[in-house]
């Protein structure tokens, strides 16, 4: 069973730290160098100083800063355990606006083999080394993982019940409510207990927390990780596509090679349908519709992976035709940026995909399979800095 518990969160005191909007940051792994500099300049108390310090020893710097901010009252620990309703309002590339609701809480760490918490993408070793160093030094979960569960026809807000006024409201885009009512917390715990939690974002943080837990035997706090849990059945859960930019030179017979497994035509005005791939070249744009021979290249894959457009692209084009390994690829989530990369010569070609459906991601997880890195981009990213969780020495 999934074990969800409230937490006594560590949060900014706006009276000392200033406007909360100036204190937040995206997750550490999507922050560009220019954004890092801008966030450091935005406020002396921006959470970037904890998650991505500019000092050489980031872990030691984060620990010093965290201790200083707690001692000075910049960060204050809530006295009453709570779950936190976190609502994000966001705009999509088509101009529409949506809202995603989720709960910030403590989630008990589980080995993947138990099937209670499941990953959907592979991870890399290098990012976990630095994250573990920061976790050891600070004794804190500085950013939540993003998990999904499936409860049809039960919006998060209905599960929580009345919440009153938010304790944080950043222009309606980020809103946070403290839920301290024992009955509401018990309702949340009971509702999520039978659920499978799929990690949407934060695989490296989750696996780092597992390793830290094993180092902290006897420390009950370290057996949990700070998590944001959203209902995948709500329309606010959005996956954007992740397009591939190819830097390597293209073969001269590219068109002929593509036509062996795809129907190829000039790019029409109509949107891509499931299974279709758009190819942007310096002098032309093509729409590729797979023939049976293209799908045959996926025959050796598990059934859940054979439905994914990203596997079709890699197995039928990138690997056999272009010989493109991961080092020859860049990624973007924006159609226009992909096309601009080809126009400016930053990329030799761009291949534009549709995002996988939430149902497809869930099917991969429940089948015990893994998607390629950069297969999903859950949007928007969670803000870091709303809630921190203390899980290790010297705090517990």
- Residue 374: left if φ>0, alpha if ψ -120 to 50, beta else—which one? left
Cα dihedral 272/278/282/283 (nearest 10): -70
Q: For residue 187, what pLDDT is reported? A: 98
Question: Which of the listed CATH numbers 3.30.1760, 3.30.1540, 3.30.70, 3.30.360 matches domain 242-354?
Answer: 3.30.1760
CB 5 within 8 A of CB 224: yes
DSSP 284-344: -EEEEEE-HHHHHTTTTS-TTTTT-HHHHHIIIIITTTT---GGGEEEES-HHHHHHHHHT
Q: What is the pLDDT of residue 87?
A: 98
Tell me what pLDDT residue 126 has.
Answer: 83
pLDDT tens-digit series, residues 197-244:
999 999 999 999 999 999 999 999 999 999 999 999 999 999 999 999
Helix residue ranges, H only, 154-215: 156-160, 182-192, 203-215
Domain ranges of the chain: 4-239+379-390, 242-354
- Chain centre distance of CA 218: 30
Task: Tell me how long the chain is.
Answer: 396
pLDDT at position 123 is 84
Q: How far apart are CA 260 and CA 373, in angstroms?
A: 27
**C-alpha distances in Å from residue 373, one per residue of 123, 320, 391, 394:** 7, 19, 29, 35
Could you state, in chain order, the average pLDDT of each consecutive group of 10 residues for the chain (396 residues)?
98 98 96 96 98 97 98 97 98 94 98 97 87 98 98 97 97 98 98 98 96 97 98 96 95 95 94 94 96 97 96 96 90 95 97 96 96 94 98 95
pLDDT of residue 269: 87
- Residue 224: its pLDDT value, please? 98
Q: What is the pLDDT of residues 246-294, one digit of tens each?
A: 998 999 999 999 999 999 999 998 899 989 999 999 999 999 999 999 9
Q: 315, 310, 275, 334: which is closest to 121 by C-alpha?
A: 310
Mutual orientation of helices 125-138 and 203-215 as an angle, nearest 10°?
50
State how far the Cα of 13 lies from the Cα of 78, in Å rounded to an integer.
10
Distance of CA 284 to the CA centre of its chain: 33
Task: Say whether 151 sits in a helix, a strand or coil.
Answer: coil
């Amino acid at each position: 069973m999934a074990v969800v518990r409230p937490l006594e969160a560590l949060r900014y005191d706006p009276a000392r730290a200033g406007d909360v909007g100036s204190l937040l940051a995206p997750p550490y792994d999507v922050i560009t160098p220019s954004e890092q500099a801008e966030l450091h300049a935005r406020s002396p108390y921006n959470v970037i100083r904890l998650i991505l310090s500019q000092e050489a020893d980031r872990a030691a710097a984060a620990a010093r800063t965290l201790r200083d901010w707690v001692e000075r009252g910049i960060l204050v620990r809530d006295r009453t355990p709570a779950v936190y309703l976190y609502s994000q309002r966001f705009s999509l590339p088509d101009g529409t606006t949506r809202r995603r609701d989720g709960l910030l809480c403590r989630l008990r760490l589980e080995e993947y083999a138990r099937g209670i918490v499941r990953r959907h993408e592979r991870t890399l070793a290098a990012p976990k080394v630095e994250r573990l160093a920061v976790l050891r030094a600070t004794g804190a979960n500085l950013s939540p993982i993003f998990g999904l569960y499936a409860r049809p026809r039960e919006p998060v807000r209905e599960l929580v019940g009345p919440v009153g006024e938010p304790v944080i409201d950043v222009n309606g885009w980020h809103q946070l409510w403290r839920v301290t009512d024992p009955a509401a917390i018990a309702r949340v715990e009971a509702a999520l207990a039978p659920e499978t939690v799929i990690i949407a974002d934060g695989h490296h943080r989750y696996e780092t927390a597992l390793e830290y837990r094993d180092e902290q035997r006897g420390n009950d706090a370290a057996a949990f990780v700070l998590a944001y849990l959203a209902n995948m059945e709500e329309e606010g859960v959005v996956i954007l596509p992740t397009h591939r930019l190819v830097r390597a030179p293209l073969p001269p017979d590219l068109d002929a090679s593509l036509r062996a497994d795809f129907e190829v035509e000039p790019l029409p005005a109509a949107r891509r349908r499931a299974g279709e791939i758009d190819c942007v070249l310096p002098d032309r744009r093509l729409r590729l519709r797979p023939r049976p021979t293209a799908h045959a290249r996926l025959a050796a894959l598990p059934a859940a992976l054979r439905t994914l457009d990203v596997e079709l692209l890699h197995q039928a084009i990138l690997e056999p035709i272009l010989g493109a390994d991961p080092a020859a690829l860049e990624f973007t989530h924006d159609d226009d940026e992909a096309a601009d990369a080809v126009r400016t010569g930053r990329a030799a070609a761009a291949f534009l995909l549709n995002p996988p459906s939430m149902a497809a991601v869930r099917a991969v997880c429940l089948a015990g399979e893994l998607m390629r890195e950069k297969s999903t981009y859950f949007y928007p990213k969670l803000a870091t800095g709303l809630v921190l969780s203390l899980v290790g020495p010297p705090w517990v």
